[in-house]
Amino acid sequence: MAFNGTWKVDRSENYDKFMEQMGINLVKRKLAAHDNLKITLEQNEDTFHVKEVSTFRTLELDFKLGVTFQYSLADGTELSGSWVMEGDVLKGSFIRKDNGKTLTTIRQIVGDELVQSYSYEGVEAKRVFKKS
């Protein structure tokens, strides 16, 4: 599957502004900008295994397309939501447990890169990953 592999963050666009909109304080935003995030994705039909390794934490989770699950961001923000596949695009919609607002995430392969786009309360950002 196209998403399979280990991806290392290469660059970010508007990520600090996005994190600020999410309510993440300045110190955590500065640290997150240099988190050296690696994401390993393994897709088996409609089931995904994800391993996220950064300077701050290692997290492993499994999810099935269309099935709601619980997830915590690195800053501790609790979310509930699911991923769906639309063509070659993986779309996630997550509701924050603290305020009920929606975080949307899109993962897609563009050329030889994994582009992860975020949208929250009108602020959009991207993180671009290269295979490692």
- Cα–Cα distance between 95 and 67 in angstroms, integer? 14
64 and 46 in contact (C-beta within 8 Å)?
Answer: yes
Tokens of 35: 């988190």
Domains present along the chain, CATH in parentheses: 5-131 (2.40.128.20)
Three-state helix/strand/coil letters over 43-103: EECCEEEEEEECCCCEEEEEEECCCCEEEECCCCCEEEEEEEEECCEEEEEEEECCCCCEE
Q: Which whole number is the average pLDDT over 54-79?
A: 93
- What would the pLDDT profile of 99-128 be if each residue is shown by its tens digit? 999 999 999 999 999 999 999 999 999 999
Distances (CA, A) of 14 to 5, 33, 39, 124, 131: 25, 11, 20, 7, 22
What is the C-alpha to C-alpha distance for residues 65 and 84, in angstroms, rounded to an integer?
5
pLDDT in tens, 75-88: 889 999 999 999 99
Find the length of the chain: 132
- pTM for the model: 0.93
